[in-house]
Structure 1
Amino acid sequence: MKRILSFLLFLGIASLACSLPVAQATQPSAETQPTETATQPQVQNEAGISSCPDPLCLTTSFSLLDLQNNPLDENVVKLFSVAVDDENNRVYVAGIMTPDVAILDGATEEWIGIVKTGITERGIKYIYFDSSAQYLYVFETTSSTLRRVNVATGEMAAPAKLNGGFASVAFVDEVHTRFYLATKKGLTAFDGNTLQELFVVQGLGENSGTMVYEEASDSIYMLASQNKTARTIIVIDAASGKVTDEIQYTTQANGRARAFYFDAQERTFIIGLERTVVMLDMNGNELNAFPLKNSGALEDILYDPATDQTFALSVAQPANGQVAGIGRHVDVYDKNGSLTHSFDFGRKPHHMHLNSANGHIYIANGDASVLWNIDTANPTQANPLRLGDSIEQIVVSGDGSMLYLSSRLGGSYIARYSLVDGSAASFYAGTWPFPLRRDSAGSFLFSLNAWDSTLSVYSMTPSETLLGTIPLGIPAGSTDRLPDLAIDSTHKLALAAYPEFGAIAVVNWETMQPVTTINIPNAETGDTGGGPGQLQVIVNESARRLFVYETHARTIHVYDTANNFAPLTNVDVKAQSKSIGQSDADLFFFDADSNRLFLGSIELDSTTAQPTGTVLPAESKPFGMDSEDNLYWVLDSQNSAILAIDRISLAIRHSQPMPEPSSNLATTAYDPVNKQVFIGYLINANVYGFSVGEIP
């Protein structure tokens, strides 16, 4: 396949490209639906019959992007920043989790390519575009590094390392080929060709706001936006960078100035405050003002001079016990301030960007893998343009013939891939299917729909049949603090751990009814930072014990599942923090055959959760057990390796380099029936399957 071809050529193994036709589904919102097409699948290998002369042999490899017929050669996921080339009708989109930038053709609204940025690490990045020079600017907030790429030639300027910077306050001067960024030193101008610092406008650092350019006077107007009471527009000579004037304006409206536009034809300023939009003449005199009517929290304001419309993007307030507001709302106003259109869309999109070449507004929605599109000529709805896929979990069917893959940041769906004939399908019943679990027999698949607070139960034979979706009896999830899920196959229980609520919701998946909710004492609740593994659960079915690991307090809580989930004890494991590792999904592992419980690399008593003193020989976590060969399969993320560890001595019997670095965010699964190890990567949506041979 094109996305993992170099790796497969290195190993001399052919790979498979197949499509992803749709299976049965309960339809969620349009933003979560992947593109589905069908082609004749090709047989790559038959599960469990390949012989392996080495400890591990690569037998399966595919890309979820290829299964989805993604038009791009590279993944772009958790969409965050947008830049527009309105000369050539192009839209550029950057993701937090991936280094490079996707290109959308504004005429066809199809994805047409990738811009290489030179970035090697994931992180928040803001992008900006100079249509005249065809320069894409990229500011990495984590490293405070400014980059510039010529999208026509691929040429890159030497990166400029900065001492901080306010990325949301930046300006591209296309006339002088300069880039302005507000830093702690002041408003700093960079040569767009070389990224050399040209000058600093002192005193305009933290006080900087949105900037606009006026061609007639060759001036940059900057809105001083940090002060809620001072009303000032600073005038800067674009050629010299000197402040030439300050325009004072007054308005009856309260609140900090949030948005700033200049209508060159009417020669008016448009300023968006927290609850009001104000129009000013060039001297700062108020010409008109109108209130914003939506009751939600304001996210962004955009003015379109071509249609003389103002768009206000807001977020709904948290309701019904939710921790954070997620739904977005747009109100559209005409030039007189009359509300003409209103509509809801998406979950957590933030900033609007106008492409004047096609009259469309684009909004990145990182938590839905969607670029939203609003037509300013008929602004009645937002339409989704999907981009990117992610693999965040792998579950193997009971007979080892199927893989089930959770895509969350890459769109809310579950992919099914056949290891026998290469056929594939997608299905979904809710938003953010994470985590996925199966029962011990492999008869049922469970999907915790994280942002719906529901559990979907599927029969895995003969195909994915949705048996039901169970409300958990808790508010809907609304943060990036990912939940966990444990399955008690013996007693038909599912236990969903939500860190934002500090609670475990217990349901009976046979009767499809909630059982109880367990509140974890002193757990850190609320929207306090994203990621998996902040509240983790596992069950010892025979001992009737529930173990809950709360990472903030580094404490394990133990409950009696046979006695109405009565609390039994708390175990402080701060002393073992290094061996447990950082917050990560699936730190718990239970070997039911040997009655051994692990949290990361430390062993715990399987009844009391007290550390036994036994530690695995690496900062790692087990993910599979082979009773025949007496092995634990272990992910060693620190060294990007898969380990085969002896179950008795806990000595490493084999170490295998992973096909990609751990920084691509690996997830693993083991099939004991056919003795296969599977590794998937969130960042690039690749999957590799290895058959197990002779382990020395």
Structure 2
Amino acid sequence: MSRRRSGIAVVLFLGALAGCAGPQPAPSASEGGTLGSSGITRVETLAIDRLARGSAQPNIIKLRRPLVDEQRNRVYFTGTLTPWLGVINTTTDQIVDAIDLGLHGYLSKQLALNPSTGILYFTTIEDQRLYRLDPVTRQRSAPVDVKGGGALSVDGVNDRVYAAAQGEIRVYDGNLALQRTLGGVQVLSLEVAPATSRLYVTTRGQFPEVKVFDTATLAELASYSMPGGLVPRFITTAGGRIYVSCDPQAVVIVDEASGQMRSTSLPANVGATAVLGGVLYVMTGYPYRAGYLPGADGAYGFVEVLDATTGARRATVQGGLQADGFDLHGAAGKLYIGNTGDSYIDVFELSTLTRSKRIDTATSLEDIVVRPSDGALVVRNRLGGGNSLLLVKNGVVSEAPAPGNWPSATLLDPSSGLVYSLSHYESSVAAFDAQTLAPQPAIPLGVPRLRTDALSTAALDASAHRLYAALPELGQLVAVDLVTRTAGAPVAVPGFDTATADGPGLMQLAVNSRLGRVYLFAPRMKKLFVYDSALALLRATDLSTALGSATGSVTLGQVFSDDGAGRLYVGALALDAEGTNVVARLPEGDKVVAADAAGNRLYAVSFVSPSAPAANDGHERLVELDPSSFAVLRRFDLLPIDTVKSAFGFDFARGLAYAGYFETGTLDVLRLR
């Protein structure tokens, strides 16, 4: 893991923050002091991402496939959870610019380039729209609807854009004016070859195949069914050959002159392909689903290197976690791999297939743990560069000890002074001393290494020295004895569907140390499971009626135990501590995030959106309540967000709260009193 830069203090105060985090919400009631004698106030906003990466460029997180512009020595890249298009200079391999696309929400962008003009085209996969972008003027076109499609390819010689839509192929000019359509084709992927005036398409449906069309007439010239029932997915062409990546786990080389085919089996899922200098490069490992190779530590992506004529395997290049795609810079002799799971773009030298650099593009803030001795913060950075934990102290960011592979929960045990981190892909619990940062040996969970995006989570019973891990991929709960450093036998969660388990928040945990209760909330099932400390199931409470239809989505951190008050919260619902009955509903707040027993306060968070969630005008509101009457005492409006909700940490001893913004990598420091 490359070391992230530390020792640079960057603080963005309110006036400076507007340029990087969008417009601020109107002053809240708390700032006006109308609900309390003194309002919650923002002390400062720390640019954690800039501090961690040492870069002035914005956070670009959840990477997709990079795109190389050889003529202009640029690499373009986007993230699903950011409106920015990043620009890398291929001479220095540094991020030199970021272009605001003005698109907000969860949007995966598929990029294509006109090499003659340098104009970029991209489709947004989730809402299936096509755009034109001039990276010099930074002007983006209005969207063109390509519902039912998403694939695209650009003819730089004739200035044409080929895009798939529902049941057809559309041909646009360089300004996205529609020129022609070809119906009756269900397209999965396509590639235009201007030199031969041909368009290559992989189709989907009952009988998927490869079709070849004349670009002048759109007449079909040939079609190929893959051998052995293989299903064609992605396609590229070179030297009179068609290269087709197929399911399951193979690449097929088609000689266009003879129609002869040869296939090469590969050890994992197969994605995009590219050919350069008689060498075929094939993305494998992660695409489509979180992939794996037997014995590998994590869902890595790989680029297989094959002979472009025979398909014989020459070498394997390992990318990062969840490597999503790659591109080649032939003139510079470089391979660029974009990694969704660790926000690195890896740079490899084609001559030696060795990695020469890792370009860090983002920092994610997902858990915030406060060190009691001095108020320093430990921040979980799962999707950021290095999958590290970050230590934030006095405006300086440095690395905490490496927590294993893909940290999915970070917890502080005040009694032992240890910080515990659940390592998702290693299926283990790592730890380090919060004060000295000395690492502790990892504790295996006693289950197979996890491999999918069904993100695990954990809760800590500090008084019993026991950690509980919820593993949606397996549909199981595991108890870890932190004294003996052993894991108990996994316990299956009744009725949990592992076949559809994908993404975070599918199992959510809380612990009541006083009662010895473990609570597991399964949002999709709308069920609360209550266990004793040995994970014997005591009851399952159906909350579907109380939650209603609006709470069916997976929101993180919905379950919270207020041990002192003897209450359990699931979303806005307050239940008794046994999880049997709903006793109240919060007047404000979507979920509870903290309880201050000494101060007799409860803190909840609600999402406020004046119009639509994708309009970049939504924000979260921190709500302070009386824990007995649920009367709202104070409110504070946080900074705008698009999709991912914020992480929170509380230091009641010092009267501070922290809000971490996942998408921008910034951290609000709030004074509660």
Bigger mean CA offset, 221-230 vs 118-127: 221-230
Match of 1:103 among 70, 80, 87: 87
1:141 and 1:342, CA in 2 relative to 1: closer, same or farther beyond 3 A? closer
Report the Cα offset of residue 42 of structure 1. 9.6
Whole-angstrom CA distance in 1 between matches of 2:604 and 2:252:
58
Give the 5 Å matches for 1:339-350: 339-350=313-324
Candidates 184, 195, 201, aligned match of 1:203: 184
Contact 1:435–1:484 at 8 Å: present in 2 too? yes
RMSD between superposed Cα atoms in Å: 3.0
SS at match of 2:545: helix
The 5 A counterparts of 1:408-447 are 408-411=382-385, 412-419=387-394, 422=396, 424-441=398-415, 443-447=417-421
Task: Tell me if structure 1 keeps the 8 A contact 2:337–2:347.
Answer: yes
> C-alpha separation between the residues in 2 aligned to 1:480 and 1:426?
24
SS at match of 1:67: helix
Tell me how far apart the structure 2 counterparts of residues 389 and 181 of structure 1 sit (CA, whole Å). 34
Q: What is the CA-CA distance between 1:53 and the residue it aligns to?
A: 8.6
Partner of 1:220: 198
Residue 546 (structure 1) aligned with residue 518 (structure 2): yes
Question: Does residue 1:668 correspond to 2:668, yes or no?
Answer: no
Given that residues 6 and 396 in structure 2 are in contact (C-alpha distance below 8 angstroms), is that contact kept between their aligned partners in structure 1?
Answer: no
Residue 429 of structure 2 aligns to a residue in which SS? strand
Encode CA deviations 1:310-364: one digit per residue, 9 max, x unaligned: 1233328757799996553524325444433234443332333222332323232
Residue 123 (structure 2) aligns with: 139
The equivalent residue for 2:155 is 173
Go from structure 1 to structure 2 and tell me whether the alpha carbon gap of 1:323 and 1:582 turns closer, same or farther (over 3 Å shift).
farther
Which amino acid in the other structure matches residue 154 of structure 2? V
Paired residues of 1:89 and 1:357 also in contact (CA < 8 A): no
Contact 1:225–1:256 (CA under 8 A) maintained in structure 2: no
Q: How does 1:518-557 map to 2 (within 5 A)?
A: 518-526=491-499, 528-531=501-504, 533-557=505-529
Shift, 1:425, TM fit: 3.6
Paired residues of 2:527 and 2:543 also in contact (CA < 8 A): yes
SS of the residue corresponding to residue 140 of structure 2 reads: coil
CA contact (8 A) 1:84 1:128 kept: no
**Alignment match, 1:504:** 477
Against the structure 1 CA distance between its residues 524 and 612, is the aligned structure 2 distance closer, same or farther, given a 3 Å change threshold?
Answer: same
Alignment of 1:227-242 (within 5 A): 232-237=211-216, 242=217
Report the CA distance between 1:464 and its aligned residue: 1.8
Structure 1-normalised TM-score?
0.84
User: Structure 1 residues 490 and 345, CA, compared in 2 at 3 Å: closer, same or farther?
Assistant: same
Q: What is the Cα deviation at residue 443 of structure 1?
A: 2.0
1:200-349 matches, cutoff 5 A = 200-204=181-185, 206-207=186-187, 209-215=189-195, 219-226=197-204, 232-237=211-216, 242-244=217-219, 246-247=221-222, 255-263=230-238, 266=239, 268-272=240-244, 274=246, 275-281=250-256, 284-286=257-259, 290-304=262-276, 307-315=277-285, 326=300, 328=302, 330-333=304-307, 335-349=309-323
Q: What amino acid does structure 2 have at the position aligned with 1:479?
A: T
The residue aligned with 1:691 is 671
Aligned length: 631
Matches within 5 A, 1:155-166: 155-160=139-144, 162-166=145-149
Are the aligned partners of 2:171 and 2:181 in contact in 1 as well (CA < 8 Å)?
yes
Q: Which of 594, 599, 624 in structure 2 is aligned with 1:629? A: 599
Which residue identity is paired with 2:173? D
Given the alignment, which residue of 171, 174, 182 partners 1:189? 171
Mapping of residues 441-456 of structure 1, within 5 Å: 441=415, 443-456=417-430
User: Aligned residue for 2:5?
Assistant: 36
Q: Give the structure with higher Rg (CA).
A: 1
CA 79–644 in structure 1, closer or farther in 2 if over 3 Å, else same: same
Cα distance in 2 for partners of 1:107, 1:548 equals 51
The alpha-carbon deviation at position 673 of structure 1 amounts to 0.5
Query: Residue 642 of structure 1: CA displacement?
Result: 0.7
Q: Which amino acid aligns with 1:138?
A: F
Measure the CA separation in 2 of the matches of 1:113 and 1:527: 39
Distance verdict in 2 for CA 1:257–1:522, change over 3 Å: closer
In the alignment, the residues of structure 1 paired with residue 529 and residue 446 of structure 2 have an alpha-carbon distance, to the nearest angstrom, of 22
TM-fit CA distance, 1:54? 3.9
Shift of 1:398: 2.1
Q: Residue in 2 aligned with 1:27?
A: none
Does the 8 Å contact 2:283/2:301 carry over to 1?
no
Deviation at 1:119, TM superposition (A): 0.9
**Higher alpha-carbon deviation: 354-363 or 404-413:** 354-363
Q: In the alignment, is the contact (CA less than 8 A) between 1:331 and 1:339 conserved in 2? A: yes
Contact 1:86–1:356 (Cα < 8 Å) also in 2: yes
Distance of aligned partners of 1:424 and 1:354 in 2 relative to their CA distance in 1, 3 Å threshold: closer
CA distance, structure 1, for counterparts of residue 188 and residue 593 of structure 2: 50
For the residue of structure 1 that corresponds to 2:65, the secondary structure is strand
Q: What's the counterpart of residue 371 of structure 2?
A: 397
- Matched residue SS, 1:131: coil
Give, in whole Å, the separation in 2 of the partners of 1:142 and 1:565. Answer: 40
Q: Deviations over 1:226-245 (max 9, x none)?
A: 475756422121xxxx2245
User: How far off its partner does 1:252 sit?
Assistant: 6.2
- Give the Cα separation in 1 of the matches to 2:660 and 2:278: 48
Letter in 1 for 2:230: G
How much does 1:145 deviate? 2.0
1:249/1:285 contact within 8 Å kept: no
Distance of aligned partners of 1:540 and 1:629 in 2 relative to their CA distance in 1, 3 Å threshold: closer
Residue 89 (str. 1) matches residue 76 (str. 2): no
